[in-house]
Structures are given as structure tokens and as C-alpha cells.
């Protein structure tokens, strides 16, 4: 299996622009997670889906952030409008309902820089 | 909320053992994990331990869990330069709760 795939790997944009991050989970996985990693706050869970349905979005910072999962093999995290404080590495992770120890598998991340 | 703490830095000579420590506050943790993050990469699961276990060994890795003190450690035997990375402790609590709580990460530096 190719693992969790994220695109783009790097994104540089200007403040006020819309940013869309993409994730393809491991085939057959039921859960998909979006995390953000910053020096100040470490790794934070933003939102997670189960069977394409958003279950907990309490970690989404504000209304500028939105996430969708239109099908089992694709999810997006959108920031509109973007701000410099959104600069971070965004990780997508997935797991199967039958994963040993509820193990989550992480993608390589998207490094977002908002100027 | 729940808290997971780690020291930020550890330096170890090549060939020695590394011990990375973690403390957590959640008394209902079910699984505890160690993830490794190399520069520019995602998080790679190294190992995990179920909360009713005291120890787990997997090749060069030994995980010790003291549930009473809420203390978790990862020992890497015969540390190599390829072990240089940031190591994250994480825990998940309660069945049906998907939230992984991560520590701050410990940056392991290997001294030749």
C-alpha cells in the first residue's frame, strides 16, 4: 500500500488567499484525521471523519477552516482566507476500524507558509 | 484537558542506550504510543503498549509503563545515527474516543 498521500507537500501563499490541502487515506481505512503541527502548540487534532462523516471538529480553529470528505478515498482541508498564523505543517492520518491498538498512520504532511 | 509531557532534548553517544521519558495525566488511557518524526517527514509509529501491560520489547526498543505514576519510557538499545529524530509520546483514552494527545516531542541527537 502507498500509505497516506498528501498534496501538495509544500504550499506558499499570500495572506487572504484560499488554500486547499488534499489527502488520500490508506485504502479500506474508516477513519481520517487532520492534524496541525506548530512549534508553539505542537500537534493538534483539527477534525476527524468516520465513514466520510465529520465526527468531531472541535479542534478547528475558526470559521476560516473547513474540511470535507466527499468519498472514502479523498478529503480536503480548506482555509479561506488564509492568515500568516496559519503557517504550519498539516498532517492527515487514517486508521482502520480493525487497526491493532487503534493505530493511526500519518501522511508526510503539507508545509504551509502564509506570507 | 489531558496533558502529556516530555523533555525537549536528549543527547546520546552512538552505541549507548537512549531512554526517552514521558508523563501523562489521563488515568483512563487505553493505549500509549511512541512515534518517530524525521526531518521533513510525517510521524512513523514505532511501537505501542496497552495500558494493562508493564513492558513491551520489540528488537532494539523497550517500552516500560508505570501506570501508577503515569510514566512511560522508550529505551533504544545500541543507538545509531539513524535514530536521530524527534520522538513523540501519545495516548488515547476511552473506547470510542479517537483523540490522540501528543507530547511536545523529544529531539534525540546522536553524538559520534
pLDDT tens digits for A60-94? 988 999 999 999 999 999 999 999 999 999 999 99
Res A47: pLDDT: 96
Q: What's the gap in Å between the CA of B44 and the closest CA on chain A?
A: 7
Q: What is the pLDDT of residue B96?
A: 58
- How is residue B84 written as a grid cell? 536521530
State which residues of chain B have pLDDT below 70. Answer: 1, 94-97
Does A103 sit within 8 Å of B102, measured CB to CB? Answer: no
Partner residue opposite B42 with nearest CB, options A48, A50, A91: A91
Interface residue of A25, A30, A43 to substitute, partner B, most B CBs within 10 Å: A43
**For the purposes of burial, counting CB atoms within 10 Å of the CB of B100, is it exposed (0-12), middle (13-18) or buried (19 or more)?**
buried
Residue B95 class from Cβ within 10 Å (0-12 exposed, 13-18 middle, 19+ buried)? exposed
Report d(CA A39, CA A84) in Å as an integer.
14
| pLDDT score at B80 | 96
DSSP alpha helix (H) spans, chain B: none
Q: What is the pLDDT of residues A7-61, one digit of tens each?
A: 999 999 999 999 999 999 999 999 999 999 998 888 999 999 999 999 999 999 8
Q: Which pLDDT score is estimated for B1? A: 58
Separation CA B50–CA B95 (nearest Å): 12
Q: What is the dihedral of CA A39, B29, B11, B75, to 10 degrees?
A: -150
What are the angstrom distances between the C-alpha of B96 and each of A41, A58, B26?
25, 16, 15
Amino acid at each position: 500500500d502507498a500509505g497516506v498521500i498528501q498534496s501538495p507537500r509544500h504550499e506558499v501563499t499570500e495572506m487572504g488567499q484560499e488554500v486547499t490541502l488534499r489527502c488520500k487515506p490508506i485504502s479500506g481505512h474508516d477513519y481520517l484525521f487532520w492534524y496541525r503541527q506548530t512549534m508553539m502548540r505542537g500537534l493538534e487534532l483539527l477534525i476527524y471523519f468516520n465513514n466520510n462523516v465529520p465526527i468531531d471538529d472541535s479542534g478547528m480553529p475558526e470559521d476560516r477552516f473547513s474540511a470535507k470528505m466527499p468519498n472514502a478515498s479523498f478529503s480536503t482541508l480548506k482555509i479561506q482566507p488564509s492568515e500568516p498564523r496559519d503557517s504550519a505543517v498539516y498532517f492527515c492520518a487514517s486508521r482502520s476500524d480493525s487497526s491493532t491498538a487503534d493505530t493511526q498512520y500519518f501522511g508526510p504532511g503539507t508545509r504551509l507558509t502564509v506570507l | 484537558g489531558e496533558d502529556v509531557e516530555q523533555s525537549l532534548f536528549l543527547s546520546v553517544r552512538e552505541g549507548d542506550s537512549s531512554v526517552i521519558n514521558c508523563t501523562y495525566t489521563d488515568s483512563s488511557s487505553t493505549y500509549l504510543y511512541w512515534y518517530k518524526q524525521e526531518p521533513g517527514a510525517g510521524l512513523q509509529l514505532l511501537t505501542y503498549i496497552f495500558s494493562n501491560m508493564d513492558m513491551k520489547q520489540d528488537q532494539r526498543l523497550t517500552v516500560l509503563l508505570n501506570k501508577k505514576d503515569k510514566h512511560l519510557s522508550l529505551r533504544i538499545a545500541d543507538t545509531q545515527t539513524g535514530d536521530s529524530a524527534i520522538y513523540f509520546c501519545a495516548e488515547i483514552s476511552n473506547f470510542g474516543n479517537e483523540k490522540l494527545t501528543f507530547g511536545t516531542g523529544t529531539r534525540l541527537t546522536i553524538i559520534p
